[in-house]
Amino acid sequence: MKLKTLTFMGMALGFMAVAAETSYAAEVKLKAASFLPSRTVFAKYFKDWVNHTNKQCAGMFKISVVGPAAIKTLEQWNALKNGVIDLHYGPPNYYKGVMVEGDVTILAKNESADQRKNGAWAMINDLHKKKMNAIYLTNILNGVNFYLYTSKPAVNNRFEGFRIRSVPIYDEFFKHLGGQPVRMSPGALYTALERKAVDGYGWPLWGIKDFGWHKHTKYRYGPGFFSANVNIIANQDKYNGMSSEARKCMMDQAIWLEGQWPSWRAAEAAKQTKPQDDAGIKYVDMGAGFSQKAEELYWAQLSKDAPAFIKKIRPLLSK
């Protein structure tokens, strides 16, 4: 009897050990890349989401984050597409070359949660699946506007001859204003400003001080235009290879983020103008036509590049 009991206990302990090992092995390690360093306000909110998601999905998967020091900003989207990394946090305009329609959400007037409900999210997700080998989880920074910052004043509201750090979303707008778009990563901009290699840059209201750009910036031109959406996407092969429970948990956290974002945005916006005021950056109101022209030009560009998709999704991005 004693031998049977010991045998049973041994089997039970063995089963528990195997179960524990299986549970441990089941936790998938995921590597994410952020387009900006962790010290910036933009990366902060992604890191907050990652920390929250790791807690909610513990035992299923765990996300670790690297920045541009590990993988260059403008190379991260391709690393995601090819499966070198598992998640990417970056602007869709950085991979416009393979998915020109993808950054249409920067023109959205509604919240990301509304886009999930009305079908816009599904359209954008399908686009990412087909062209980026990616699952579109959600985005952050919806509703945070861009501005034009310069180190010298405009002349008669024009920027003739200004070399302006740009990305594809506002190239045409800056050309319309007389500027010359210049392509460079955010990490290279401080030195370019310091050496007067550029005269300005397009950037959201947030984060100027994070990079030290406020030291070489004198003017901010608005009203703000577009929306500084930054996508969170997952490699499609990696995502599909996880358990259904893990996939659901990840998507649930994306939906959770969409619910949190409006209040996070409001709280952060209240903090972001003071550093610019303290640095002596002067805000110049160019009138309503400034932002309207930016949006008009970009809608026209996207409609030319992908007419059917834009015609269908544009009503879904209005309020």
Residue at 2 is within a domain: no
Residue at 7 is within a domain: no
- Residue 18, pLDDT above cutoff 60: no
| The pLDDT of residue 4 | 52
What pTM does this model have? 0.84
Asked if 260 and 282 sit in the same domain, the reply is no
* pLDDT range class, residue 281, cuts 50, 70, 90: very high
Residue at 137 is within a domain: yes
Asked if 97 and 214 sit in the same domain, the reply is no
Number of structural domains in the chain: 2
Mean pLDDT across 189-218: 95
8 A C-beta contact, residue 111 and residue 318: no
The residue ranking higher by pLDDT, 4 or 89, is 89
Mean pLDDT across 138-151: 96
- pLDDT tens, position by position, 46-97: 999 999 999 999 999 999 999 999 999 999 999 999 999 999 999 998 998 9
* pLDDT range class, residue 22, cuts 50, 70, 90: very low
Query: Partners of 89 in the beta sheet?
Result: 34, 232
Rounded distance between C-alpha atoms, residue 182 and residue 15, angstroms: 62
pLDDT, the chain, mean: 92
- pLDDT tens, position by position, 290-304: 999 999 999 999 999
E-strand ranges in 47-159 read: 61-66, 87-90, 134-140, 146-150
Tell me how far the alpha carbon of residue 222 is from its chain's centroid.
22
Asked if 92 and 124 sit in the same domain, the reply is yes
What range defines the domain where residue 208 resides? 146-227+271-317
Asked if 124 and 205 sit in the same domain, the reply is no
Asked if 114 and 240 sit in the same domain, the reply is yes
- Residue 175, pLDDT above cutoff 70: yes
Tell me the residue type at 75. Answer: E
Asked if 36 and 167 sit in the same domain, the reply is no
| The pLDDT of residue 23 | 43
Residue at 59 is within a domain: yes
Specify the CATH number for the domain of residue 78.
3.40.190.170
Asked if 173 and 251 sit in the same domain, the reply is no
